[in-house]
Amino acid sequence: MSHAPFGITTGRIFETHLKTIDLTRATEFYGGVLGLEEAYRQPERQVAFYWIGAPGNAMLGVWAVSEEDWHSSHFAFEITEDAIEPAIERLKSAGIRVNDFWGDESDDPSVHAWMPAVGIFFRDPDGNSLEFVAMLLGEGQPDLGIVSLSEWRSQAVVALNP
């Protein structure tokens, strides 16, 4: 049995933070568009915290900073595979551009074949890179690199029907 350094064994990150130059706009996006439940807000510190999933599951902190102190972040929300395509439609209906791994606008999600996991990418109003990602069944295929979900599915069919 292997042990993770420092006793890290849950397989998830509990809390992450990102920066915004406009906290009101960011809270409208994370609370309104993405529908995250606000956990706590401290106006004097210019921060809002959101639960990711059920309260106590995981948390996102959104901190207001000056334009000089802002820098882009990336993180992914885990969702189920069957939620990927509806998420694309929901984001698009909210006026949000959905991208593949390379940043090209696409309705065909990208598969990280080494895991394997499927993801769609989009940006918040500040330009932070966000992802909805779902683990896929089956063995990873690192030699495929990053492929579209449609290509992954066609590869899986070929693998099942030699």
pLDDT in tens, 34-87: 999 999 999 999 999 999 989 998 999 999 999 999 999 999 999 999 999 999
The per-residue pLDDT for 12 is: 75
Residue 43's CB is within 10 A of a number of other CB atoms, namely 9
Buried b / exposed e along 129-153 (16+ C-beta atoms within 10 A): bbbbbbebeeeebeeeeebbbeebe
The per-residue pLDDT for 162 is: 45
Query: What residue spans in the chain does CATH classification 3.10.180.10 cover?
Result: 1-71, 73-162
Q: Looking at the domain 73-162, which fold is it?
A: 2,3-Dihydroxybiphenyl 1,2-Dioxygenase; domain 1 (3.10.180)
Q: Where are the beta strands (DSSP E) in 35-115?
A: 37-42, 47-51, 59-64, 74-78, 110-112
What CATH number labels 1-71?
3.10.180.10
Q: Which residue has the tokens 């004097």?
A: 44
Dihedral sign (CA 9, 73, 41, 83): negative
